[in-house]
Amino acid sequence: MKYRVLVSDPLAEEGIEILKEFADVDVNTGLTEDQLVASIGNYDALLVRSGTEVTARVIDAGERLKFIGRAGAGVDNIDTEAATRRGIIVANAPEGNTLAATEHTMAMMLSLARNIPQATASLKKGEWKRSKFMGVELNDKVLGIMGFGRIGREVAKRAQALEMKIIAYDPFITQERAASLGVEMVPLDELFRRADVITVHTPLIKETRHVINAKTIATMKDGVRLINCARGGIIDEAALADAITSGKVAGAALDVFESEPPTDSPVIGLDKVIITPHLGASTVEAQQNVAISVANQCISVLSGGAAKYVVNAPMIPAEQQALVEPYAVLAQKMGSLLIQLTDGRLESIKVTYGGEAAALPNTKFITRIILKGMLDPILQAPVNIVNAEFVAKERGIRLSETTTEEAHGFRNIISITAKTDKMTESVSGSVSAPDHARIVSIGGYMTDLTPTGHVVISRHTDKPGVIGKAATILGRVNVNIAGMQVGRHKPGEEALMVLTVDSAVPAEAMDEIKKIDGIHTVKHAEI
Ligand SMILES: NC(=O)c1ccc[n+]([C@@H]2O[C@H](COP(=O)([O-])OP(=O)(O)OC[C@H]3O[C@@H](n4cnc5c(N)ncnc54)[C@H](O)[C@@H]3O)[C@@H](O)[C@H]2O)c1
Ligand SMILES: O=C(O)[C@H](O)COP(=O)(O)O
């Protein structure tokens, strides 16, 4: 069956064309939440811009939904938590419109300094008012950039060409990084005090909502100019309107609003406020970029692969993928083997990364793959790296992850211990080359098992005859033994046998093996 994709906001044709090669695509814009809820159950993927509110109701109704793509940067219109809960990958296209938003910010700053929109409107009315539209130069003025990410940094570069002095505030960017770009990082209160023009380039989050408000505006220079091409709500519009009316703020340029379209905003009618209807990303080039990016990510996810810009799961940067991949493959197999060796209700899972594995760039990603390997086979709902941790927590399974230099004679080792209400079982594995990984111990017994195919694993008393009887039963049901390993701590005590076999073992044969005198437990697993 062909996949079905719904595009619910205007998306550049270049992206739609790519999608159509792979899936049935419906472009249906302007749907209400109820209409979306009614139709989303028929689709495997949903692609949006900022115009569609992808609420928890929509997500919960999307029974087949595997991917939500945002053709742009901000994902504040998508309930990512609801998507995570359902194991749906959310990805965006954060780089495609960076330059468009940057250039829009520059256009807004220059227009604000020289009153270009107001002067245009006046002249079009037949007026010729040259003194009314006296402007200011940006040369030598202090530009305060709040949020020094992709767009903030590009704005800084261009403002430097105008010979502005740039100061910036961003709690997640180091002084050194900013200094290498000729920018001074300052505390936020200092930025507010010193800047002639302030432009915001952060996401709208708890910390940034109304960060520009009556109180903070009072600390700014008289005649400050404010720009918001990021997200409505970072500037308190009511406070801005008051400050413009009082003359404290000389002007503001807004591309985004607390509510869009901004029908009731007190700033819209003010002469000193210039406005655009959320046009930051609206260039031909940016729209092509984001549409192509999100279409390719959609195809990749629906084909069982990964998305480049996942926002709701740990990501492995492309340059680290070759390093992490062999561990990820081994981890999933170890998780799958371990769950097949345990009985009872899972209570806790402990993962230890030893030796070189402890230095892997994203062990959290690998731990989620282990959880997927363990939980996916036993749960009704799909478990993937997006929701694995959430699913474990929801079921009361305690998860712990530790790292240690100790690798027990291997260069690297991953050990997983699962505790259920009936037993404790463990497996350890090691990667010796990119295409060579092994299970090196089971339940504390040394093994050397290539994790693929069918295995029969028993715990038995180390005495003559037990292994032979098990082999005879397998032979009788035509199951060929490809390899055998036995581990024990002391002669005559408990031993562990691992038989690799060429096909699945019938349940009756397993029952028969269980009954052999000396066998304590026996399990058949497929890895
Ligand atoms: N108007 C438009 O059409 C348009 C287009 C593209 C992007 N955007 C918006 O622009 C904003 C920035 O986009 P970007 O691509 O540069 O994102 P980015 O993630 O590259 O940068 C955001 C920066 O904000 C910083 N930040 C987070 N919390 C902060 C805080 N409390 N104080 C100061 N800095 C903080 C982060 O450390 C990061 O460096 C986003 O809100 C995005 O949605 C708008
Ligand atoms: O976050 C973004 O990418 C911008 O706000 C652009 O939004 P749009 O795709 O709706 O133009």
- Note the ligand closest to the C-alpha atom of 8: 2
Residue 10 lies in a domain: yes
Mean pLDDT in residue range 434-445: 94
Q: What's the CA gap between 449 and 433, in Å, rounded?
A: 15
Whether residue 195 is found in the same domain as residue 137: yes
Mutating to test ligand 1, I would choose from 49, 70, 151, 175 the residue with most ligand atoms within 8 A of its C-beta, which is 151
Mean pLDDT in residue range 251-256: 98
Which residue's alpha carbon is at the smallest distance from atom 15 of ligand 1? 150
Q: In what order do the strands lie in the sheet with 454-461?
A: 481-488, 494-501, 454-461, 519-526
Q: What is the 3-state secondary structure (H, E, C) of 318-330?
A: HHHHHHHHHHHHH
Least-confidence region, from 9-23, 79-93, 129-143, 376-390: 376-390
Does any ligand 1 atom lie closer than 6 A to the CB of residue 149? yes
As given in the structure block, the two tokens for residue 366 are: 């690998």
Residue 438 lies in a domain: yes
Closest by CA to 331, choosing from 352, 309, 301, 310, is 352
pLDDT of 125 higher than 70:
yes
pLDDT tier at 435 (50, 70, 90 boundaries)? confident
What are the CA-CA distances from residue 512 to residues 260, 288, 486, 502 (Å)?
70, 64, 20, 19
Average model confidence (pLDDT) for the chain? 94
Ligand 2 center to 443 CA (angstroms): 53
pLDDT of 386 higher than 70:
yes
DSSP-derived pairing of the beta strands 346-355 and 45-48 = unpaired
Per the structure, the complete domain to which residue 224 belongs is given by 98-275
Which pLDDT belongs to residue 81?
A: 86
Q: Answer whether 315's CB lies under 8 Å from 361's CB.
A: no
Residue 310 lies in a domain: no
Which residue's alpha carbon is at the smallest distance from atom 5 of ligand 2? 74
Q: 17-28: per-residue pLDDT in tens?
A: 999 999 999 999
Ligand 1 center to 93 CA (angstroms): 13
Whether residue 373 is found in the same domain as residue 395: yes
List the catalytic residue out of 86, 104, 201, 278.
Answer: 278
Mean pLDDT in residue range 287-296: 98
Mean pLDDT in residue range 456-467: 94
- Note the ligand closest to the C-alpha atom of 287: 2
Burial of 110 (0-12, 13-18, 19+ CB in 10 A): middle
Whether residue 353 is found in the same domain as residue 251: no
Whether residue 248 is found in the same domain as residue 292: no
Which pLDDT belongs to residue 373?
A: 93
CA-101 nearest atom, ligand 2: 4
Whether residue 323 is found in the same domain as residue 262: no
Which residue's alpha carbon is at the smallest distance from atom 6 of ligand 2? 281
Q: 412-432: per-residue pLDDT in tens?
A: 999 999 999 999 999 999 999
Residue 122 lies in a domain: yes
Whether residue 334 is found in the same domain as residue 394: yes
Whether residue 404 is found in the same domain as residue 517: yes
Q: What's the CA gap between 449 and 452, in Å, rounded?
A: 8
CA-101 nearest atom, ligand 1: 5
Which pLDDT belongs to residue 345?
A: 86
Residue 403 lies in a domain: yes
Q: What's the CA gap between 366 and 341, in Å, rounded?
A: 20
Q: What's the CA gap between 273 and 244, in Å, rounded?
A: 8
Could you identify the residue written with the tokens 């070189």? Answer: 356
pLDDT tier at 96 (50, 70, 90 boundaries)? very high
Told to judge if 438 belongs to the known catalytic residues of this protein, a careful annotator would answer no
Residue 56 lies in a domain: yes
Mutating to test ligand 2, I would choose from 97, 103, 276 the residue with most ligand atoms within 8 A of its C-beta, which is 97
Whether residue 52 is found in the same domain as residue 39: yes
Residue 309 lies in a domain: no
Whether residue 76 is found in the same domain as residue 108: no
Mutating to test ligand 1, I would choose from 170, 206, 278 the residue with most ligand atoms within 8 A of its C-beta, which is 170
Whether residue 118 is found in the same domain as residue 192: yes
- Note the ligand closest to the C-alpha atom of 309: 1
Told to judge if 104 belongs to the known catalytic residues of this protein, a careful annotator would answer no
Share of the chain above pLDDT 90, in %: 87
Q: Answer whether 217's CB lies under 8 Å from 239's CB.
A: yes
Q: What's the CA gap between 49 and 77, in Å, rounded?
A: 9
pLDDT of 132 higher than 80:
yes
pLDDT tier at 141 (50, 70, 90 boundaries)? very high
Q: In what order do the strands lie in the sheet with 3-7?
A: 23-27, 3-7, 45-48, 67-70, 89-92
Which pLDDT belongs to residue 315?
A: 67
DSSP-derived pairing of the beta strands 197-200 and 224-228 = parallel
pLDDT tier at 376 (50, 70, 90 boundaries)? confident
Q: Answer whether 226's CB lies under 8 Å from 145's CB.
A: no
CATH number at residue 398: 3.30.1330.90
Closest by CA to 69, choosing from 291, 318, 316, 382, is 291
Mean pLDDT in residue range 455-469: 94
Burial of 276 (0-12, 13-18, 19+ CB in 10 A): middle
Whether residue 230 is found in the same domain as residue 113: yes
Mean pLDDT in residue range 137-159: 97
Tell how far CA 427 is from the center of its chain: 29
Least-confidence region, from 22-26, 190-194, 487-491, 501-505: 487-491
- The per-residue DSSP string of 365-433 comes to HHHHHHHHHHHGGG-SS---TTTHHHHHHHTT-EEEEEEES--TTSSEEEEEEEEESS-EEEEEEEEEE
| pTM (2 d.p.) | 0.76
Angle at 378 between CA 2 and CA 381, to 5 degrees: 40
CATH number at residue 39: 3.40.50.720
Mean pLDDT in residue range 3-32: 97
Q: 238-247: per-residue pLDDT in tens?
A: 999 999 999 9
Which residue's alpha carbon is at the smallest distance from atom 28 of ligand 1? 202
| 483 beta partners | 500
Mutating to test ligand 2, I would choose from 50, 200, 234, 292 the residue with most ligand atoms within 8 A of its C-beta, which is 50
Ligand 1 center to 83 CA (angstroms): 22
Angle at 378 between CA 360 and CA 66, to 5 degrees: 70
pLDDT tier at 362 (50, 70, 90 boundaries)? confident
Which pLDDT belongs to residue 380?
A: 67
**Count of structural domains within the chain:** 3
- Note the ligand closest to the C-alpha atom of 11: 2
Residue 377 lies in a domain: yes
Whether residue 205 is found in the same domain as residue 343: no
Ligand 1 center to 186 CA (angstroms): 17
Closest by CA to 453, choosing from 507, 354, 527, is 527
> Up-side HSE of residue 339: CA atoms within 13 Å toward CB?
21
Told to judge if 231 belongs to the known catalytic residues of this protein, a careful annotator would answer yes
Q: What's the CA gap between 141 and 162, in Å, rounded?
A: 9
Which residue's alpha carbon is at the smallest distance from atom 39 of ligand 1? 149
Q: What's the CA gap between 228 and 200, in Å, rounded?
A: 6
Does any ligand 1 atom lie closer than 6 A to the CB of residue 208? yes
